[in-house]
Every structure is written in structure tokens, then in C-alpha cells.
Amino acid sequence: MPDLRNYPEGRGVLQARYIKDVLVEYSIVKSFRQRVAAAALTTTGLGFTPCPALPGVRWRLIDATLVAIGGNATTSTSINISGVVAGSAVELLAVAVAALTRSAVVRAGATNAVVLADGASFTQQDANTALTLKAIGATLTVSTFIDFFIHYVADPA
């Protein structure tokens, strides 16, 4: 008989379920791509939320990539991916707009794409908290869109 345990937890078959109309598949690396309008990444709004706050779910960032579309990003200081760890808001990735030149691929950890020390950007976030993408400083201009690629895992709380 085949061993169906999911190492290291040993829970058997992976669990998948809908929570608030979002399919959550625990312990599976998933990829998400979205072309986000620059106007949506305002400093006053919520920005863009690829991983919403869900009860019983702890998001874990694996990797992220940003690409400026339609021109060089200007005006803002950075585009950040934010989360919550130990009850405090943290910037998991801060990409300086200087790196977001038209069509340049900027990955987490590259020049001008700062992650937290000691791999802390890639640890579990608090349960029932979201991962968000937002502009820091001023509203993003010149670029019409930011292509946003994220690899993430949903861990049970």
C-alpha cells in the first residue's frame, strides 16, 4: 500500500477547501500573476491584495517578481509587499522605483529589491492576515501597470 502521509505533518491526503470563496490548498506552492494598474497602487488606498485575510490561514511568501509596463516607474519611493508577523506590519519586499524601469524584471533579493534579514520575508505570516502590494511615498506615475508575480504557500494556522 502506498504511503499517503504528507511529510512532515503526516496528515494523509492534502486538504483543500473554500474559505470565503477562495480555494485554499494547504502546503502547495501556488503561483499568481496579475497586471495591476498603477492607479490602484495608491498610498491612500489598500493597494492590491493577492492573498486575502482568511481565518485559519497563514500565508508564506516564496518568491515575487515585479515588472513595470508602459514606462519607468516614478514619483513613489517603492512598491512593497506587506504582511503581518507577531502582530506587527512588516514590509516583506521593498522594490525601489529606481529598479522598475520599463520591462525590467525585478526579483526579490535583487539589487533595489530588499527583503527582510535572515530570510524573515519567507516565513509564515500571522493567521487571518493578508499579503498586500502598495506604493510607498507618493502615487505611482508614468508606468501604466505593474506586472506582479507571486509564489506563495497557504499554511494552516
* 29-156: CATH class: mainly beta
**CA distances, 139 to each of 22, 40, 44, 92, 103 (Å):** 29, 9, 8, 20, 20
Distance CA 4, CA 11 (A): 8
Cβ atoms of residues 60 and 151 within 8 Å:
no
Confidence class for position 1, pLDDT limits 50, 70, 90: very low
Nearest to 149 by CA among 105, 116, 112: 105
By three-state DSSP, how is residue 102 classified? strand
Confidence class for position 46, pLDDT limits 50, 70, 90: low
Q: Residues 61-78: what's their mean pLDDT?
A: 93
Quick one: pLDDT at residue 58? Answer: 96
E strand segments, the chain: 16-19, 22-25, 30-37, 48-51, 57-69, 78-85, 88-96, 105-107, 113-115, 131-136, 145-156
Q: Is the pLDDT of residue 147 over 70?
A: yes
Distant-in-sequence, close-in-space partners of 24: CB < 8 Å, separation ≥ 6: 16, 17, 18, 54, 57, 154
Distant-in-sequence, close-in-space partners of 79: CB < 8 Å, separation ≥ 6: 41, 66, 73, 94, 95, 97, 100, 133, 134, 135, 136, 140, 146
Confidence class for position 9, pLDDT limits 50, 70, 90: low
Distance CA 74, CA 13 (A): 47
Residue percentage of the chain with pLDDT more than 90: 68
Quick one: pLDDT at residue 14? Answer: 59
Distance CA 57, CA 60 (A): 10
Residue 87 CB burial class (10 angstroms; 0-12, 13-18, ≥19): exposed
Quick one: pLDDT at residue 45? Answer: 60
The position carrying cell 503561483 is: 31
**Taking the model in full, what pTM does it have?**
0.84
- Provide the residue ranges of all domains of the chain, joining segments of one domain with +: 29-156
